[in-house]
Amino acid sequence: MKINIKLAVLSDLSKIICIKNSLVENMNNKGNYQWNNCYPTKEIILKDITDNVLYVAISEKTNDICGFITISTKPNKNYDIIYDMSINSIIIYRLAVACEFQKKGIATSLLNHAEIIAKKMNINRIRLDTSIYNKESNNLYKKLGYTLVKTLKKEREIIDYNGELKIISYDGTYYEKIIK
């Protein structure tokens, strides 16, 4: 599928939130609570847009937003126990593809775009994490040459798509790719 990738703008926010909400339901129905009604919030996504780190994939055929990715250089607060933080890297947050556009190479294109940005910034590492229960993402990262650095288990409270409070175990998988 042919797409264009561009920085998100404020007028993209409502479509991004719609994609996020449909993914939450889909993920939660599969037992993956990485995303839920509490994360990512509209405020987080809005901050990504205003910080110019959120990119959208737009279908050339329909002009619809079909996915998004946050490409940052600011590490997550947990990353210092996983990665050597003295090494500059691109950090991927919130990679998402709308359900109806999945399995069409869009996530791969978004991750390839992150590599292009990293090269322009003279950064040769990309780091990201996902839930161990997100089989699609874990398989994709391995297929694209990301190396599993660590699996980290922690518990947290979430509110699932149905509004129910649950305590879940978040088994995070942390990956890194060195760009040649």
Q: Kindly report the pTM of this predicted structure.
A: 0.90
Residue 82 CB coordination number (10 Å): 18
Residue 144 CB coordination number (10 Å): 15
- Please give the pLDDT value at position 180: 85
Nearest CA to 19 among 92, 68, 72? 68
What are the tens digits of pLDDT across the range 65-99? 999 999 999 998 778 888 998 899 999 999 999 99
pLDDT of 109 = 98
pLDDT for position 81? 84
| pLDDT range class, residue 21, cuts 50, 70, 90 | very high
CA distances in angstroms from 44 to 84, 93, 105, listed in the order given: 25, 11, 26
**Which amino acid is present at 30?**
K
Mean pLDDT of the chain: 91
C-alpha to C-alpha distance for 41 and 137, rounded to whole angstroms: 21
Q: What is the pLDDT of residues 129-169, one digit of tens each?
A: 998 889 999 999 999 999 999 998 766 565 555 666 655 55
Query: What is the pLDDT, as a whole number, of residue 166?
Result: 56
CATH of the domain at 52: 3.40.630.30
Our count of domains for the chain comes to 1
pLDDT at 152: 84
Whether the CB-CB separation of 70 and 93 falls below 8 Å is answered with yes
Query: What percent of the chain is modeled with pLDDT above 70?
Result: 91
What residues make up the domain containing 12? Answer: 3-178
Burial class of residue 75, CB neighbours in 10 A (0-12, 13-18, 19+): middle
pLDDT of residue 38: 80
Rounded to whole angstroms, the Cα distance separating 152 from 171 reads: 6
* Res 33 pLDDT > 90: no
Determine the Cα–Cα distance for residues 171 and 180; give it in Å rounded to an integer. Answer: 29
pLDDT of residue 78: 76
